[in-house]
Each structure stands twice: as structure tokens, then as C-alpha cells.
A and B are shown apart, each in its own frame.
Chain A
Amino acid sequence: MVFDDRPNRTMTLHLLVWRQPNGQTHGKMVPYTAEGISPDMSFLEMLDVVNEGLIRKGEEPIAFDSDCREGICGSCALVVNGRAHGPDGGTTVCQLHMRRFQNGDTIAIEPWRARAFPVIKDLVVDRSAFDRIIAAGGYTSISVGGAPDANTTLIPKDTVEAAMDAAACIACGACVAQCKNASAALFTGAKISQLALLPQGAAERRRRALRMVRQMDAEGFGSCSWEGQCEAVCPKGIKITNIAKMVREYNRAATTGETS
């Protein structure tokens, strides 16, 4: 029973944080002490506390992206002790809570590291490559106005559930950050799978697979070597089978002479 008798302790933590003024200069790990940290705080609220202290001293706070703070917008992107989104698994770093740590722990905090995700400042990286992959074909080419009644095409429940599993991706980029090749196969595969599963996406599935995969390669992401690190850190549990599906879709398109 945890009513009212929760230990009212606060923690002191030793942080090592990647600081880099901008993309043109080198960065380094800088030590900070986080004091008075409550176990009820989220990881980002802990960083807020550190930043408030820095601001009061007139120093520049640590830059990091976040917005929804409930695990759905995909903004937050930190490597905590070598693991994208931290030790919990199946969650984003904004949902990680400090009760996961012990008083006195040392925590290393780094940005996503990948050639296709250049650092902008401190822990903020440029993930616009993902938008360009979607722009290459991650949609159905239908315009507003002509859609038939939504129940015209029946879709089996299992199919739509599988599509939803793939569509749950939040484009945070943890898959790329954790992969030793910095591959974006899980991200790209998830969108290709979602639309390939649904009848609405059928008309252009080959063209889509070709174009998205080519864009992914052009952005400088590495290739997949099936180690599954991406799946292990994905906060939304996107399955590596999406990559297999992507490969099938791509090969089928390439061998049928589809042009993009």
C-alpha cells in the first residue's frame, strides 16, 4: 500500500551532459550536479530543475527538445546511459521517472548520434530526414473531396489492427540512434507496412516502397543488419517484421520493373 507513506526523500545525481554550442563546433561531456530531485519527477523535469539553476546563474541552460511530455509527439530524444530513451524500455524519455534511479547515481546524457541527424545544439538534433522520407511517398495520393463513404471498403479487424501497430510510430528516431549502422529501416518500414496492409494504400504500394527506400538511402542512413536494437528501444513497440515487409515490398517493386 502506497498511501501517504511514500518516502519523502530527495536525491542528488551526478550528470554528464553533452554540450555543443552549434553544429559547427565540437562538443564535450560536461558534469553537473542535480540536487533535490524527487523520485516523482520525470527525467525531463529533473533537467528542468538543473536548467533553472543554470539560468539563475546567468548560464545557458541545456538545450533539449520536448513538447507533449506524455510519450506521443516524439520530440524528446535523449540517450541515457547509452540507451535511447533510457533504461525502462517501451517508453519515451519524457515518461521515464526518477524513481528509476538511486541517490548518488551518475547519469550520462547524450543526443541521438547519426550522420543523418546532425546535432543542432547540445541535445537537439535535426531529424528532418524523416519528413523527407514521408514526402517521398508515405501517403495515399488522394485529394480532399472525392473520398467514397468510409464503409464502402470493408477491412478485416485483424488487418486494421496490424496496420495500427505499424502506424503507432512517433518518429522519435530512437531506432536510428540505437542502431550501430544508424539505419532508418524500422521507421521507413513501419509506414510502408501500414499502407501496404490497407486497401487504400494498394494502388501505389510499389511506387511508394521504391521511393521511400531510395530517399532513406539518399539521406545517409545506414543499412539494416538485423540486430534488432531498434525494436528493443522503440517506445511504441514497433516490430522488426516491418523491416522484412519493407524488403519484400521493395524487392517486388524492383523486380517488376516499377519506376518511381
Chain B
Amino acid sequence: MGLEYATETKPHVMAPALWEEAPDSRLEARLPSGPLEQKWDRRKFDNRLIAPANRRRHTVIVVGTGLAGASAAAALGEQGYNVLAFFIHDSPRRAHSIAAQGGINAAKNYRNDGDSVYRLFYDTIKGGDYRAREANVYRLAQLSVNIIDQCVAQGVPFAREYGGMLETRSFGGAQVERTFYARGQTGQQLLLGAYQSMMRQVQLGTVTLHPRREMLDLVVVDGQARGIVVRNLLSGQIERYAGHAVLLCTGGYGTAYYLSTNAINSNVTAAWRAHKRGAFFANPCFTQIHPTCIPVSGEHQSKLTLMSESLRNNGRIWVPKKPGDRRPPDEIPEGERDYYLERKYPSFGNLVPRDVASRNAKEVCDEGRGVGESGLAVYLDFKDDISRLGKDVIRARYGNLFEMYERITGEDPYSTPMRIYPAIHYTMGGLWVDYNLMSTIPGLFVLGEANFSDHGANRLGASALMQGLADGYFIAPYTVADYLASARLPEVSPDAEPFRAAAAVVQARIDQLLGVRGDRTAHEIHRELGRVLWDHVGMSRSDAGLRRALTEISQLRQEFWERVIVPGSPDNQNQTLEYAGRVADYLEFAEVLTLDALHRRESCGGHFREESQTPEGEALRDDDHFTYVAAWEFTGVGAPPVLHREALEFEYAHPTQRSYK
């Protein structure tokens, strides 16, 4: 096992039956030439433009109004395009982005502590375990600076120092203080900034909102993305919209696992339907597990609540040394506690990256040393810092979080240690996009968490908000314009045949869901799917486990279509129907997620393969075989997908094995 294994296998020749290899995969990432720091400028200059007077003749469909979608809609509206914005919520301000707590990174170097665009670039590439594109990540680091300026101008109340300058903090183990924040509500304030900018465009008539609409299909005409089919979630009507380009900004797929920190209506539906129409899905197995969540309390649980990572700055993580020790924490003497992160990683201690902290928590629980009723939790203990700094200092830093914890668990973390356990939190994988954020379907752009682009195999804390806003405010406005100016886009009507055909597919699926009239709820089946994924495609993955998951997923899918029950009618608000549709898509998507994990026989970032570890049990990358993006092409439900590879090259940040010892 371990080292030898990784160098001996020839992963590209295994298991031909489960997927197919693209004979000559020429995925064109369209990276600009030239030195890293000039690439984006060059691309911007090479891009074609559309004159201001002509812009309103171009209709851009934006699906999703989280950070990525709202910022794109606002920016495109400001330039004068005709923007149609669709979202499942009643108001754009409720998108899942609202829940982000910790902060947003930017290479401002306001602290004079050695930060720079290059360092943010380097940290992001390294944190992503060398599975992201250098050119994309460098651009992201460059734009981070503009994002903060933009948000401050909007009136985002970022934390400030007494002198009136912006405050920053270190986040997720970063060695510079580059994270800007607005209390524990950074996502909320950034989203409201983007939402308000978009609402200004609504008032000015460039953006039209279509609330409570769920995208259920993408319409492709002559190979170009030209529209969408949505269900009006109030009237049940199937509606068709045509445009010149479509921007998918529909967020991540963490709720495939049923329990996650994501909002419960998050889904893969829009991305999956686009995938079925030809957009490749990249690196779906790169999922992120957050180490500090409130543990599951029972079957009824509908979601998991994140406790901000910042808690690890002042809390110490431990479990009893003895397996099966059921004593209350205050009765376990100091000498019988194992502060396992401090013991194993003396230089980073409790601040090791998310994947390392999560995996170690699982390991100690697997050894029978977990705490709490379920044994699936570890302690996060503030006792030492409460006595060192005083209760008031801790309250000032974490008062809200402690209150929230107490409300949910009924326990007071000032006097008894918190119990925490990892949970699915973020998905690095997503629809494949080129440097211009365009998918493999011309005219279909993908922004925010829905794309796969910038975080490689692991995302650094406070970088998702940065990416969503970079995509929306600063990248899509240029690259979408270039597409609109260069592509031949004849007028199409939403009554044209491809639109009717797509609407018919959507209608047929709805009828099918209502027609089963079985005896199992979509919730039950989703919960089971979540368990399969968590057990086998979660924190630790193995060949045998993944193969078992594949079998179980296809059984569950069959069970779903034989036994699901969806009461009510299709022609008014029907939340059971909406939800069942999303579960049905997850049951298809879960297969490519698992296959991707099976095919990638290396450990990297959030993807830990038991077969690929160092003798000390740490993740072991296999750069010789896996320095590529895996992009999957759909060939049919349950049919072997086709694997395309985009090779990754590292000219500037040379791959090293991560070490946090």
C-alpha cells in the first residue's frame, strides 16, 4: 500500500466498463498566452466589444441570483444588456450565499504583512493541492482587490479599526491577515450589496426578475445555448425563455449528501440538466468537508449547522485517550485527554486545513474515541482560553456562535466543551468551463460554485465569496460580451421546435414523478442516498466502498422510480414535486460523482483515497498520473460516461507535497 501503490498503477487502463475514455480529448481551455500577470489584460484587450447602443438588443439569461448571479446580472445590466434573472427563491436576497459567515479574501496587503497578488495566487494553488489552472487562479487573485473596492462603494459595512481603516483577520490557517469580514455575516452583506445593485437595474429596466422559477432544462439550438425551460413554482406552468447567452449561477451540489451545511433547497438540477444537454461535468469528486459543524442529533435532522472555523483559533480539539470512555468531559483528567491535532501537527495544531482536521476527527471516532450520544463528535474546548483571556473576550469574539450552539443543542459552551463533527460544506467540482467561464456548450457560461474552476481539489476558507464576485462583476461582463460579439446568433423564438421539445421532456418527467404513486417519500430516499455517499464517497474513499456505492445508488434510483409518492397536482405550488425532482437528479448525478472518485486513484485535497497515503497516513498525491481535470461527458442515465482530460501545467507554482507537521 501507500507509496508503491501510487507509482505502480496505470489508472488510465482500469475498469473500462464503467466509463469510456475519449480517444483524443481536446478540451480547449483557451488560456491566453504570455506571462502570468499579463494574461487577463491580454484577453481583455483581445476580446471583442459591443457598442453601448447595441447592447440592449442582446438578451442574457442569468439563472441563479446568489453572489455570482446577482453580481453578473447587475454588471451586465449596468452595461445595458437586456438581462432576465431567474431563481427559485421568492427574493434574490435569499440565495444560499446569504449564509456565508467568515469572510472574503483579498490581496490588499493593508496589513503590510507580506501579502501580494502572487502570494494569494500561490496559496490558492497550493491549498487546492495543484489541481487548478494557474491562469484562472492568478486572475482571481488580481481581481480580489477590485472586489473589496466595489463592495465598500456599495455600502457593505465591513469591519473597521478605530482609525477608520478596514479591519482584516487571518482565516483558515492563512499566514497573512487578508480576510475582510462583516461580523459573522459576510455573505449576507456581500449578497445584499450585489442584490441592491441588481435591484437598481431592475428599477432602470435593464434587469427583469423572474422569481420562484426553477430551471428544468437548457435549450440548445444549432449547438448554441439559446434558452431555458423553467417551471413557475407558483402556477406550475412550464415556461420557455429565449436569449443570446445563458449564465448558470445555481450554486453547488452539497445537498446530494442530504445532510450538509447548505441551504435545503440547494440542488444540482440546473447544472445536471445542462450536463445532459452536453455540458461536461468536471471533478465532481472534489467535495469539501468542514470540520466544525454541530453533530447530527437524530433521524429527523434536516440540515447541519456550521460553527465558524474561527473558533479553532481559541478552542482546543480533543477526545478521551481510551476508547469507549463515556465520562462527562469535566471528569476526564488532563492526562487522559488526547489533543490529537496538537500532538500530530505541532506547528499548525488546531489550525490544520479543513480536510486534515476532518479526516482526523473521523479517525478518532472510528477508533471508538468519539464523544456525545452518537459517538460521532469530538470536543472543541474553550476552557483554557476562557481562563487565559476571560469570558468577556471570548464572548466578544464568539457570542453569537455560542448562543446559536446553545439554542440548537441545549448546552452552554462556556461551561462544557462544544461537540463538533465534520459535514459536507462546499463542492469544488462543477460544470467544466474554459478560461472565459464558458462550458462545452457555446453560449452557456457557468459562474460561482456551479463551475469547477478555481479551487482545485480543496478550497481555502473565504475564497468562495471572492470567486463568485470575481466571476460575476469582473469576468463574465467581458467574456460574455466577446461571445455575443463574435458568435453568429440568428434570432430564435421560444416557440421554436427545440423549445417545445425541451418543454415536452420537462413535462414528461413531471408526469412521471406524479404518476408513480408509490409508498416512499422523496425525503426517505434522499436520506438513504446521503448515507451511501457519506459512508463511501465522504471523508475517506476506497475502491471497494466506491464500487459498493455505485451498486447502491443504482438500486436506490430504481426504487425511487418504482416507489416514490408525490401527492398534489402539477398546476399550483407543490413543494413535494419540486423536491422529488431534485432528488431524482441527485440519484443520477451521484453516479458520476462516485465514478470520478473511483477513477482518481490518488489522494488530493478533499479527495482521500485509502489506497494512496503516506506511511504516516497522510494524503498522497500522484502527480505523474493525475495532474489533470477530469471532465465527464453524459451518454445516458446509467450508461458509461466518457472521460475527457484537461492536462494541468504548473509553470510558476511547482507542486510540492503539503505538510502541516
A→B interface (CB under 8 Å): 1-4, 6, 21-22, 38-42, 44-45, 48-49, 52, 54-56, 58-61, 63, 65-75, 88, 91, 95, 97, 99, 120-121, 124, 126-128, 130-131, 134-136, 138-144, 146-151, 153-157, 160-161, 163-164, 167-168, 170-171, 194-195, 198, 200-201
Contacts and interface: CB of A to CB of B under 8 A. Distances in A.
B98 A99 contact: no
Contacts of B157: 160-161, 163-164, 167, 194, 198
Contacts of A40: 297-298, 300, 409-410
A147 B164 contact: no
B165 A151 contact: yes
Interface in B558-581: 565-568, 572-576
B90 A126 contact: yes
B155 A194 contact: yes
A45 B302 contact: yes
B410 A75 contact: no
Contacts of B576: 55, 60-61
Nearest to B521: A55
B265 interface: yes
Given A66-B264, A144-B75, 14 more contacts: A3-B328, A42-B302, A48-B302, A55-B566, A58-B565, A70-B305, A73-B94, A124-B573, A134-B195, A135-B199, A140-B153, A154-B165, A156-B164, A200-B155
B257 to A, nearest CB: 15
B407 A95 contact: yes
A68 B154 contact: no
B364 to A, nearest CB: 18
Contact of B182 (A95, A143, A164): A164
A74 B195 CA distance: 15
Contact of A52 (B75, B154, B474, B521): B521
Contacts of B153: 140, 142, 146-148, 150, 200
Contact of B91 (A72, A156, A171): A171
A37 to B, nearest CB: 8
B99 A38 contact: no
5 contacts: A73-B263, A127-B90, A144-B78, A156-B162, A164-B157
Interface of A is mostly: loop
A78 to B, nearest CB: 15
Nearest to A65: B90
Contacts of B160: 155-157, 160
A139 B197 contact: yes
B567 A68 contact: no
B163 interface: yes
Interface stretch (B36-44, B55-63, B184-192, B594-602): B184-192
Interface stretch (B144-152, B218-226, B278-286, B643-651): B144-152
B169 interface: no
A126 B89 CA distance: 11
Interface of B: 71, 74-75, 78, 89-96, 98-99, 108, 110, 146, 148-155, 157-166, 182-183, 185, 188-189, 192, 195-197, 199-200, 202-203, 209, 211, 234, 263-265, 297-298, 300-303, 305-306, 326, 328-330, 372-373, 404, 407-411, 416, 473-474, 477, 517, 519, 521, 523-524, 565-568, 572-576
Nearest to A200: B155
A65 B88 CA distance: 11
Contact of A148 (B149, B188, B297): B149
Nearest to A41: B300
B410 A97 contact: yes
Contacts of A66: 264
Contacts of A170: 98, 188
Given A139-B199, A163-B157, A55 B149 contact: no
B203 A160 contact: no
A49 B211 contact: no
A56 B565 contact: yes
A61 B567 CA distance: 8
Nearest to B469: A144
Contact of A2 (B303, B411, B523, B575): B411
B155 A128 contact: no
Given A70-B404, A138-B199, A45 B263 contact: no
A238 to B, nearest CB: 13
Contacts of A126: 90
A65 B212 CA distance: 11
A142 B416 CA distance: 48
Contacts of B305: 69-70
A70 B407 CA distance: 11
A3 to B, nearest CB: 4
Interface-central residue, A49, A58, A72, A74, by most chain B CB under 10 Å? A72
B300 A49 contact: yes
A88 B192 CA distance: 27
Given A52-B521, A139-B199, A160-B158, A1 B572 contact: no
A259 to B, nearest CB: 16
Nearest to B326: A4
Given A63-B573, A200-B153, A147 B98 contact: no
Contact of A151 (B75, B166, B196, B203): B166
Contacts of B409: 40
B373 A4 contact: yes
Nearest to A158: B162
B244 to A, nearest CB: 21
A1 B330 contact: yes
A-B complex: 7 closest residue pairs judged by Cβ atoms: A154-B164, A139-B196, A147-B153, A3-B328, A147-B149, A150-B152, A164-B157
Contacts of B410: 2, 6, 39-40, 97, 99
Contacts of B411: 2
Given A1-B330, A55-B567, A150-B166, A61 B575 contact: yes
